[in-house]
Structure 1
Amino acid sequence: MKRVLITGANGFIGKNLYWRLNQFGRPKKILVEKGCSNQKWNNREKNNLKWNNQDETLEILSYDIDNAWEELCDFINRADFIFHLAGINRSKRNEDFETGNKCFTEKLVNILENTGKNTPLLISSSIQAVQDNPYGVSKKGAEEAVFEYGRRTGARVCVYRLPNVFGKWSRPHYNSVVATWCYNISRNLPIQINNPDTEIELVYIDHVIDEFINALNGYENRGEDGFCHIFQTFKTSLNELADILYSFKQSRATLVVPNLQGDFQRFLYAQYLSYLPENDFGYNLQMRHDNRGWLAEFIKSKQFGQ
């Protein structure tokens, strides 16, 4: 049996990783352990997964902010691979970044090193780790703790400096500008663009999870700089991003199918639809009558007509 620990399992990336590990490939039994300070530690449920080794069972240990510290210690001791996704993205207090990112990672690494197992460790960092602000400094400190753990023990470590991640289960006003704008535009709320020409780099959540699973199987994309990379990203400007999202909203009124020719547009559209209020999935049709009968347009395309 191979045990995998996910810290931050209830967060944006953690949820997607957890879900994928349970839905991945053809059916195979695994065990999923959800730690909870108010429940017994051995609360388990059976799910399905295709694992790299068809004869090996995978057990997922899930840790998040509601768990007891003793559970984390127990999970670290039992884990054969750790996805360290927990951290603080936004806070009104600067000290929260150091506590939730740098210090928490240092504590995790210390516990891990004391096990003597040299357990492989993957951490999700941020491209902002190069910036001189409280968040960037805290992420840089977390990276250094992980790299140092690898140097001291010889354990395999994977450090990913992720750009802006978008996709399903992303929290508006917390995880990304895409989530915030999808939420606001779908609800007729204003969005704020300080510099329309600012270029941003985005990565789709499914591509992140694909790479993380590759790393779990020992096939991470490691660069000469020691960092691991996700190569399939998208670059756009804030103005272009806003235009695309507003075109999705306008398509509900014009009945014209938005441009979905590229992967980026399709991924954005899927996320935009996920934020639509339930009562907005339906829309009124204009019916035209004459002596031949009646006609109503359901949908139109600039490429293919009605």
Structure 2
Amino acid sequence: MLRLAVTGAGGFLGWHVRVLLRAMGWPEPIVLSRADLADPRVVAAKLAGVDRVLHLAGVNRGEPADVAAGNVQLAVQLADGFKHCATPPAGIVYANSVQAGNGTPYGDAKAEAARLLADIGVDLDDVLLPNLYGEHGRPYYNSAVATFCRVLAEGGRPEVHADRELNLVHVTDAAARLVGAPVDGSWDPAMPALRIGVRALADRLTEVAATYRTGEIPPLVDRHGVRLFNTYRSHCFPGHYPIPLPRRADTRGELVETVKAHGGAGQTFCSTTRPGITRGEHFHLAKVERFVVLRGSAEISLRRVGDAEVLRFPVRGDEPVLVDMPTMWVHKLVNTGTDELVTMFWTNELFDPDRPDTWPEPVEEVPQVPVAVGT
């Protein structure tokens, strides 16, 4: 377990790194803001006692000259801070790009930044990252995945102006590689990539959105299928929920279709909950989980990891709805009625006690992780 300092902690990758550290039970990292980096004495003070620095801050968009200067300047500032540190950290992990040195202002600046960091004299782990995607990515900025998901969530249709091949890596896997996390069912530091064309990606996400419009689960046949679905759901939440479920009744009673999964089964279970009792108080990194109250009344509460706002959904068994828990949102269910609560839960995978992908955290906790800029 290492004590880390992080630049770019509030960005897309930085937020996911901090969520992963929280799931692993590592200490909250020291945050080096842009303002901190401008003062080498502040940097030196914050680096005292740190084992490793994760340099995630960068400039990805803007005028070419600004992009080039910004990435080099950030490396220079970090290097200056190291020079003022009496006992500097033993290493730096640099979130570089596969575009480094490709002749563009961005690529050449990323390569120059790596050279400057290598000259500091500590161990440098220069990680070349491909295209990253994942929950709460910023549309029209972080990735085509985020853009397509947001367009589809708003009822539009993605437009593809130029088709090309992409190597897509889920951002949690990139975070695991950067922090040196061991392999786990929820992440893979080997960063397995999905190679797909832009047009094929748009078509795939369009099919996901069409299937999920009424709450049906699209085929989740592989690792990236699950993570693309979770990414799309992050752009649907909370505005698309709860989703009403149709009821069919006759003289025998009533029937409610709670889960219709295409190409997969998962695991379904039911629970009873006594009045005033709470279930949950955890978050998932990859697992898809559905709540449907079948009898009684309850409140489902959710808070995105690192955010302060708690969202609440009152639900009742006599008006059945579904609420799918978004990944990286802490959630709980409380029986708010006077009778026993009956709830159906569905997950896309069988429960594995060795790798449960269930990370405890109270919903009402005041968080310390900054919200990602991709909201």
TM class, shorter-length:
0.7 to 0.9
What is the letter of the counterpart of residue 8 of structure 1? Answer: G
Task: Say if 1:2 and 1:80, in contact at 8 Å, map to a contact too.
Answer: yes
User: Quick check: 1:159 aligned with 2:159?
Assistant: no
Alpha-carbon distance in 2 for matches of 1:100, 1:263: 35
Q: Which residue of the partner structure matches residue 207 of structure 1?
A: 173
Q: 1:77 to 1:95 in 2, by over 3 A?
A: farther
Are 1:145 and 2:111 an aligned pair?
A: no
Compute the displacement of 1:114 (Å): 4.8
Change (3 A) 1:284 1:143: same
- Residues 199-278 of structure 1 mapped to structure 2, 5 A cutoff: 199-214=165-180, 230-253=190-213, 256-278=216-238
Please give the alpha-carbon distance, in whole angstroms, between the structure 2 residues aligned to 1:262 and 1:202.
14
Between Structure 1 and Structure 2, the one with more helix by share is 1
Q: CA deviation at 1:24?
A: 1.1
* Alpha-carbon distance between aligned partners in 2 of 1:213 and 1:68, rounded to the nearest angstrom: 21
- Distance in 1 (CA, whole Å) between partners of 2:111 and 2:243 is 48
2:34 counterpart of 1:65: yes
Partner of 2:6: 6
Q: Is the 8 A contact 1:244 1:265 kept in 2?
A: no
Q: Letter of the aligned partner of 1:16 in structure 2?
A: H
- 1:215-267 CA distance string (max 9 Å, x none): 7x9x9xxxxxxxxx944222111122112211121113465431101000001
- Report the secondary structure of 2:148's partner residue: helix
How many residues are matched? 257
CA contact (8 A) 1:164 1:203 kept: yes
Cα separation, partners in 2 of 1:185 and 1:123, compared to 1, 3 Å: same
Write the deviation string for residues 43-99 of structure 1: whole angstroms up to 9, x where unpaired: xxxxxx3xxxxxxxx5621122354733334223553311111111111x2222123
- What is the aligned counterpart of 1:136 among 107, 122, 129? 107
| CA separation of 1:113 and 1:301: change in aligned 2, threshold 3 A | same
Structure 2: how far apart are the matches of 1:18 and 1:304? 32
Q: Matched residues in 2 for 1:178 and 1:293: separation?
A: 44
Deviations 1:165-217 (A, max 9, x none): 11123222221111111111111234331233x110011122112222227x9
Amino acid at match of 1:4: L
What secondary structure is seen at the aligned counterpart in 1 of 2:10? Answer: coil
3-state SS of paired residue (1:280): coil
Q: What code does the residue aligned with 2:167 have?
A: E
What SS class does the counterpart of residue 115 from structure 1 fall into? coil
Give SS of 2:95's match.
strand
Q: Structure 2: give runs of 5+ residues left out of the alignment.
A: 184-188, 266-375
CA RMSD between the two structures: 3.1
Question: Are the structure 2 counterparts of residues 232 and 106 from structure 1 closer, same or farther at C-alpha, using a change threshold of 3 Å?
Answer: same
Supply the distance in 2 between the matched residues of 1:234 and 1:125 (Cα, whole angstroms): 19
Tell whether 2:18 aligns with 1:21: no
TM-score, L = length of structure 1: 0.73
Amino acid at match of 1:263: R
Q: SS of the residue aligned with 2:128?
A: strand
Report the AA paired with residue 69 of structure 1: A
Unaligned runs of 5+ in 1: 26-48, 50-57, 220-228
State how far apart, in whole Å, the 1-side matches of 2:35 and 2:212 are: 40
**Residue pair 2:37, 2:74 contacting (<8 A) in 1 also:** no
Contact 1:187 1:277 in 2 (8 A): no
* Cα pair 2:131 2:167 within 8 Å, conserved: yes
Instruction: Give the TM-score normalised by structure 2.
Output: 0.60
In terms of fraction of residues, the more strand-rich structure is 2
Measured in 2, the distance between the counterparts of 1:277 and 1:255 equals 13
Match of 1:177 in 2: 144
Identity %: 25
* C-alpha contact 1:126 1:139 (8 A) present in aligned 2: yes
Secondary structure of the residue aligned to 1:86 is: coil
Query: 1:144 & 1:131 partners in 2: Cα distance?
Result: 15
Contact 2:136 2:235 in 1 (8 A): no
> 2:4, 2:53 within 8 Å by CA — same for their partners in 1?
yes
